[in-house]
Amino acid sequence: MTSISSIAPHGQSLAGLPLESDAPLIVHIDFKSPYAFLAVEPTRRMLAEAGLVADWRPFVLDIGSYLGTAKLAKDGKVEKQNRSQEQWSGVKYAYFDCRRYANLADQTIRGTVKIWDTNLLAIGMWWIKLHESLTAQNSSSGLLQRYIDAIYRPFWRREYDAENIESVVQTLEQIQAPLAGFREFAAGQGKVFNQSFQEAAFASGVYGVPTYLLPGHIDESGCPSRFFGREHLPRIGWMLGGAKGPGPDVAYDLADDIAPGALEKSATQPGVGESRELPIYFDFKSPNSYLALNGLLALKDDGIRLRWHPIDHKPLKLPAAQAANEDRSTMHRRVRGEYMAADIARYAPHPLADIYQTTDCSYANMGLLWLAEEAPDRVDDYVKTIFAALWRDHAKITDLNFITSALARVMGPDVDDPQWQAFVQSRGQAALAEAYGQGAEAGAFYAPTMKLGDEPFQGRAQLPLIRARLLAGI
């Protein structure tokens, strides 16, 4: 059998392994992540279209260090938990979001009853990688891809015991992988190697899955370009293909062969898209709202009407400076925060001065609410004007006079300044409070959030599905 050291490309030491590979792309997955599960097929499609192979690696999430822990009783109720309300909201939305995309692909995702320890499954991946070439690991008939499918599908149907070595042995037997020596490997060399790899990968900046590393593309820190989430596959494919022309934005790309009825199956309220209207809950000071602007405005070309609803979104939190002796939770939050800042800069149409700004958008939002009453067909232009003023031109949108002039530019000779001033002095604050309350009632705790009926969609990566649903009247 090949020695464990051969897992490291070119015989490198373990310390260099997380950032190095013979493949142009490294893909990290964890079987207990529904987002990683949903990323497998789109990643395979991207690689097939590019004619490339990837180095698939296991990364075992420590979910409790970031999202707290919870365990369900047999009746489905929470038996034990230490999560905040914000953490619960994030977890519930994540499963809701994953299920609709799973339904598109005729897959099943059932919420897990606990946070599973998936180290044994990771060791099984390393075992296969010891016995199979990189090319074979990317073949649909190869052991690694068959192993991935043989675990993911039953695991998310709650039919797989990820912590039982007999489950892994049966899977290896099912796909006709070598078995002699696996138990000893899992208890000895494989266990030690996997633990060392997990620590080194986390220390190198991998904190979630799916995470993609491009060893041939170096970022400003001198490390391989790093992407977290399948929404980056359009940009990754563009980079691997030579990176010519403007790079594509994030998107949960839809397969070309979506089965008939799949869009309806993905919807909780089929038929709400017949109006071709899209409510958007956003915040002018949110950089992610700004980055979504062009994609949202592009929907108008398909006859989709945008309905803008201002919310007072919590600003991005500046990550803490690196400290000595950080625990995993502290390091996770810092690295995640640093990654989010770098990711915003990567996709921004121009340098953004301060993504953590706490600008008071009250007057800007009042202007939107007044304009929605007086000239609703001008609201899109107003939104575009205020976003450009804040993020590109660094204008002082907290100044009432500036908002008044912005309204005049948008409305032209139709502007009624006395009526606008009266709105600010009389109904403006009440209208603003009502709008913020509607946003909270709609569950818009992320900016931007789009809604089809009662169904929320967080972030601009959702626009392909939103567009498809609206055009289909679903």
CATH number of 267-315+357-471: 3.40.30.10
| pLDDT reported for residue 79 | 55
For residue 11, what pLDDT is reported? Answer: 39
Residue 113, pLDDT score: 84
Mean of pLDDT values over 333-346: 96
- The pLDDT assigned to 260 comes to 78
- Give the CA count within 13 Å in the CB-facing half-sphere of 141: 0
Please say if the pLDDT value at position 86 is more than 70: no
Query: How many whole angstroms separate alpha carbon 407 and alpha carbon 401?
Result: 10
Q: State yes or no: pLDDT of 57 exceeds 80.
A: yes
Shared fold status for 4-239 and 267-315+357-471 = yes
DSSP string covering 88-138: HHHHHHHHHHHHHHHHHTT------SS----HHHHHHHHHHHHHS-HHHHT
pLDDT at 67 (0 to 100): 54
Query: pLDDT band for position 112 (50/70/90)?
Result: confident
pLDDT of residue 87: 61
The pLDDT tens digits for 162-185 are 999 999 999 999 999 999 999 999
pLDDT interval class at 4 (50, 70, 90): low
CATH superfamily of the domain spanning 4-239:
Glutaredoxin (3.40.30.10)
- Domain residue spans of the chain: 4-239, 267-315+357-471
Residue 228 β-bridge partners: 211
- Is residue 338 very low, low, confident or very high in pLDDT (cuts 50, 70, 90)? very high
Which residue type sits at 321? Answer: A
- Could you read off the pLDDT of 181-228 as tens digits, one per residue? 999 999 999 999 999 999 999 999 999 999 999 998 988 778 889 999
Whole-angstrom distance, CA of residue 329 vs CA of residue 340: 16
d(CA 183, CA 458): 43
pTM: 0.92
pLDDT: which is higher, 161 or 85: 161
